[in-house]
Structure 1
Amino acid sequence: MKAKLEKLKEKIMPHGRAMILAYDQGLEHGPRDFGANPESRRLEYILDIAKRGGFTGIVLHAGLAEKYESEIHDSGVPLILKLNGRSELYTGEDPYSPQLYSVAEALALGTTAVGYTVYSGSKYEAQMNREFSQIIRQAHVEGIPVIGWMYPRGSSLFDTKSASKTLKMALEEQERTGLAIDETPSIVAYGARVGLELGADIVKVKYTGSKESFRWVVESAFPTKVVMSGGPMTKTDEEFLARVKDVLTAGAVGIAVGRNIWQRKDPLTISEKIHDIIFGS
């Protein structure tokens, strides 16, 4: 299965680069994310962007993947099935994103890779680590690549009274840079390292504000590959394109982005610019 694993990695990372379109936000954030561009509520619209924009994969939950199985196949864009998820309606300090689908179910839908979110720092992190580890083992037996959404989050990241050494470092970084605590290099790098230690092939992480600090994230995850999460839409195209350039300079293999593409009025134009940055014009 190792040969199959490497072949499918090449499918979502041709020439060692990845440009993934994320569309798992409907479960995570609800319909509000589609308000900026109402067309984005339709998967047909998203698939058209993915195909014409040159994306190397599209992230979906099983409901959409099942209902649009033939359209996804016809698009030629590799499917990356997200195996866990949660809504934003629960507002507790310690999030938990439970496993919703199995590797076997993902295979039945024709997936090229699978993904899973881990909230390191949540009181439920042990359960998520265990679920993710099992998914990785099962997927690798089948020759399927695994992407970890590594997002440290939870009450421990704000517990300054009994702060870990990493949190103390992150608080100092926050003081210097003004970054949110879950965007500081120490926290993001820790999440990336957890992904490596558990066995992920690729980790999806937040931008840390500069190419210099992001290099530490990439080094912490090596040899696991790193892609940057898009996050909320930036004010300008130029701001987001600068981030893409930064993370590639730092050694990332690409991006896994949703809102910064399909919330924009002209998603294909920015997709083409990103494609040129990642793969060369």
Structure 2
Amino acid sequence: MKITRKVKDILAKYEADNPGTKANLARLLGHGRLGGTGRMVILPVDQGFEHGPARSFAANPPAYDPHYHYQLAIDAGLNAYAAPLGMLEAGADRFAGQIPTILKVNSSNSWATEKDQAVHGSVEDALRLGCSAIGFTLYPGSPWFNEMAEELRELIAEAKAAGLAAVVWSYPRGGDLSKAGETALDVTAYAAHLAALMGAHVIKVKLPGEHLEQSEAAQVYEAQGVAAASPAERVAHVMRCAFAGRRLVVFSGGAKRGETSVFDDARAIRDGGGNGSIIGRNTFQRPRDEALAMLDTIVQIYRDKA
């Protein structure tokens, strides 16, 4: 594990955290081919819960096996692997100590009619499995946001007391938000800020588009001349909204799409000062060799070599 000056500087921004939590943040930042750079690429595999097994894995049948994802993340030299309880338990012994893990403790499913998530994992589970962090999805804009925020407050407090880090998927949806509004610049920046306010160590948001959803916010963006013409400028704005870059922010890869688009997104995240990518379906829905090649290019982009 590489505890570089860059990593030390990042850890110093988490002023209220205990040595255990900082050690686990250091594990996330220090592991893999991007270790020590302050940048991260994380493999998340919670899509089976969210979308069902066939929609998630039929495009690449070896991915039905939880061991496949552990090995993919390890062989690609990623910083961490995130998954729900059962997925981590299925490989926890064989892959113990080989890659930092993040226990995703809540999820929705494709039958759900409410913009809410069920909590199905615990801090105790994360400790038992040797995880470095818990992960939690928050839905700003949902009618159930307040209840989710209260669940998150309790879980973050418990995680911090146990020396674990907290990764928050902050995904606006529900309420009066339009579909375009879910990835609007003002909404995404607001979502990142909310996660930081809730005590997240690492924030996961979607890459924002040019659209501005809230009329009051749009007036401010225009009056203050907030730079937002390019993807990199929009990433930079999200980073400013995450406590002026004092909190780690990684950006979602989204649904499977062309390689060029994925690489362009990674360059925008890099150039905008983002901390990296958390990319699942764009990798594990491809054959293993293609996934490894894609992840290699993404890592090279974050190492400023592509």
Aligned partner of residue 6 in structure 1, secondary structure? helix
Residue matched to 1:194? 194
- Listed one character per residue, the Cα deviations across residues 76-112 of structure 1 (whole Å, up to 9, x for unaligned) are 011100011121112x2x4111221221121111111
AA partner of residue 216 (structure 1) = H
- Listed one character per residue, the Cα deviations across residues 162-192 of structure 1 (whole Å, up to 9, x for unaligned) are xxxxxxxxxxxxxxxxx82211101111110
- The answer as to whether partners of 1:117 and 1:151 remain within 8 angstroms in 2 is yes
**TM-score of the superposition, structure 2-length normalised?**
0.81
Task: Report which of the two has the higher share of helix.
Answer: 1
Displacement after TM superposition at 1:133 (Å): 1.1
Distance in 2 of aligned mates of 1:105 and 1:263: 28
AA partner of residue 89 (structure 2) = E
2:251 is equivalent to residue 228 of structure 1: yes
Residue matched to 2:268? 246
Aligned partner of residue 59 in structure 2, secondary structure? coil
Residue matched to 1:154? 174
Are residues 40 and 67 of structure 1, via their aligned partners in 2, closer, same or farther at CA, if it must alter by over 3 Å?
closer
Could you tell me which of 23, 27, 31 is aligned with 2:45?
A: 23
Distance in 1 of aligned mates of 2:74 and 2:92: 15
**TM-score of the superposition, structure 1-length normalised?**
0.87
Moved >3 Å (runs of 4+): none
Structure 2: state its 5+ residue gaps. 1-16, 31-35, 210-230
Distance in 2 of aligned mates of 1:48 and 1:101: 23
- The answer as to whether partners of 1:65 and 1:72 remain within 8 angstroms in 2 is no
Structure 1: state its 5+ residue gaps. 159-178
- The answer as to whether partners of 1:228 and 1:254 remain within 8 angstroms in 2 is yes
Residue matched to 1:103? 123
Residue matched to 2:56? 33
Could you tell me which of 76, 83, 86 is aligned with 2:108?
A: 86
Aligned partner of residue 106 in structure 2, secondary structure? coil
Displacement after TM superposition at 1:271 (Å): 0.9
AA partner of residue 99 (structure 2) = V
Displacement after TM superposition at 1:35 (Å): 2.1
- The answer as to whether partners of 1:72 and 1:79 remain within 8 angstroms in 2 is no
Residue matched to 1:140? 160
- The answer as to whether partners of 2:41 and 2:78 remain within 8 angstroms in 1 is yes
For these two proteins, the number of residue pairs brought into alignment is 257
Query: RMSD between aligned alpha carbons?
Result: 1.5
Residue matched to 1:279? 303
AA partner of residue 295 (structure 2) = S
- Listed one character per residue, the Cα deviations across residues 6-49 of structure 1 (whole Å, up to 9, x for unaligned) are 12111112222211001111111111111221222112222221
State which drifts further: 271-280 or 16-25: 271-280
Aligned counterparts, 1:40-55, within 5 A: 40-55=63-78
Distance in 2 of aligned mates of 1:204 and 1:78: 17
Displacement after TM superposition at 1:156 (Å): 2.4
Displacement after TM superposition at 1:280 (Å): 4.6
- The answer as to whether partners of 1:20 and 1:256 remain within 8 angstroms in 2 is yes
Distance in 2 of aligned mates of 1:101 and 1:238: 36
Aligned partner of residue 116 in structure 2, secondary structure? coil
AA partner of residue 45 (structure 1) = Y
